[in-house]
Amino acid sequence: MSHFAFAHGNTLGKAADPRIPDLKITLHPDGGYQMDAPFPALATPGEMPGKLQSAHHRRQRGWLPNFTTVRQSFADGDERVLVHIPSPQDAENCTVFWSLAISPGFRGPPPEAQIEFAVRVLNEDREMCELQTPREVPINPSRGGWGVLVTPADTLANTFQKQFRRWLVARHGGLGAAGLK
């Protein structure tokens, strides 16, 4: 959640607050997880936010192994749901499928503009990932890696990693489950 302030200043808000509101994360019996959190209005002082940058409630549901829905509930009663499905092609390439559903009479940009906006946001993430050095960060300190800096802003990412690890072990316990913990 905190990366919005740094990675998405041109799309989600030029003055996004890097402080993270309280996140409620629920674990589901199917191994998935759900995050509920307020999303503040993201705007530069003196500049009104657009509909997609305005304050709303955000519910993000992760379905394992790799399927996410993001439901946005706006103060005016509008609802918007994004479906995000990344599909790795190989170690270097990934195709991301997006889908969008909006409530009838949605008072904001038309669907085509919303998909264009989602692609711009995703491209900001892609560009950051492609510029990362080293390309693959070693995360296991016991094997010579750097370790992972864990902060409250990492709660959602850490939940995904833990749930994904559990999902893998439950389905593929013979793949070196001890190394996944």
Does the pLDDT of residue 144 top 70, yes or no? no
Helix residue spans in the chain (DSSP H): 4-7, 111-131, 155-172, 177-180
Torsion of CA 125, 168, 89, 146, to 10 degrees: 50
pLDDT of residue 162: 83
Would you kindly state where each structural domain of the chain is located, as residue ranges? Answer: 4-137
How do 94-102 and 24-27 pair as beta strands? unpaired
Tell me, what's the pLDDT at 158? Answer: 80
Convert the pLDDT of each residue in 59-104 to its tens digit: 999 999 889 999 999 999 999 999 999 998 998 888 989 899 999 9
Residue 181 has what pLDDT?
Answer: 46
Averaged over 42-66, what is the pLDDT? 78
Report the alpha-carbon distance of residue 140 to residue 147 in Å, rounded. Answer: 5
CA gap 151, 77 in Å, rounded: 33
The CATH number, out of the four listed (3.90.1750, 3.30.530, 2.60.40, 1.10.287), of the domain defined by the range 4-137: 3.30.530
What tokens does 61 get?
């549901």
| pLDDT for the residue 61 | 95
